[in-house]
């Protein structure tokens, strides 16, 4: 069994609930979406990765593992394209498993065992150049519901752009609230896109976005800290 891997590296988690924690990142090549804000464009094509076995991946993990690192983050690209590969790595590597996913492949996500935490993106119409469709959102909802049914620690991340419309954002968050099976413990992270210098009136917009989410969920607003620290 092999999968296309872009890179394996150690760094601080720069996004979401585990921000600042040391992790080993395994970045897969290949993605089923084409988001216009993607900051890892080289990982969209499966051809950009090097084919590796689970054993080779674990060897590299062990080579760079440090005492302050307790988790692997499978990222991409879209890591849920490779559920069997993730399962094989997790079987032979004694670290917590984090999945960073767009959530649009629920059947694949359901095949991944022993997940400790999942960061699941909620996509907005502004994230695509004309090819956003309801199926994307419905699959994200399906993934959320199956993860919560398994009592897996999952949170949502919503990337907002300078072009994000309040009306569009409000509609997606309301629909999210109406369609998940249990919203009592779901946290939503609002992540302003990088670089922050591209924003005008950022502070005002962030408060408004936060108030919208706060009607339904626990909410935090967290930028990409690794971009601010200028690390990978």
Label each residue of 211-223 as H, E or C: HHHHCCCEEEECC
Q: What is the fold of 3-229?
A: TIM Barrel (3.20.20)
Q: What is the mean pLDDT of residues 2-11?
A: 97
Distance between start and end Cα atoms, the chain: 28
Q: What is the mean pLDDT of residues 140-145?
A: 96
Pairing type for strands 22-28 and 3-12 reads antiparallel
Give pTM, 2 decimals.
Answer: 0.92
Tens digits of residue pLDDT in 35-82: 877 777 777 888 889 999 999 999 999 999 999 999 999 999 999 999
Q: Which two tokens stand for residue 142?
A: 């399906």
- Cα–Cα dist 148/169, whole Å: 23
What backbone torsions phi and psi does residue 159 show, to the nearest 5 degrees? -80, 125
Residue 91 or residue 41, greater confidence: 91
pLDDT, position 43: 79
Q: What is the mean pLDDT of residues 123-145?
A: 87
């Amino acid at each position: 069994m092999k999968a296309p891997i872009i890179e394996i590296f150690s760094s601080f988690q720069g996004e979401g609930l585990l921000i600042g924690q040391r992790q080993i990142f395994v970045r897969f090549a290949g993605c089923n979406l084409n988001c216009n804000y993607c900051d890892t464009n080289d990982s969209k094509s499966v051809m950009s990765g090097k084919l590796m076995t689970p054993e080779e991946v674990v060897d590299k993990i062990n080579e760079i593992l440090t005492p302050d690192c307790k988790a692997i983050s499978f990222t991409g690209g879209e890591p849920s394209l490779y559920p069997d590969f993730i399962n094989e790595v997790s079987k032979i590597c004694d670290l917590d498993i984090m999945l960073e996913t767009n959530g649009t492949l629920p059947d694949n996500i359901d095949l991944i065992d022993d997940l400790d935490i999942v960061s699941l993106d909620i996509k907005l119409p502004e994230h695509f150049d004309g090819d956003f469709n309801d199926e994307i959102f419905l699959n994200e909802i399906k993934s959320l519901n199956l993860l919560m049914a398994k009592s897996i620690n999952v949170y949502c991340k919503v990337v907002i752009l300078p072009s994000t419309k309040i009306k569009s954002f409000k509609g997606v968050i309301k629909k999210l609230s109406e369609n998940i099976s249990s919203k009592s413990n779901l946290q939503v992270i609002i992540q302003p896109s990088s670089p922050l210098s591209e924003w005008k009136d950022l502070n005002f917009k962030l408060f408004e976005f936060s108030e919208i989410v706060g009607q339904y969920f626990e909410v935090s607003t967290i930028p990409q800290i690794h971009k601010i620290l200028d690390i990978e």
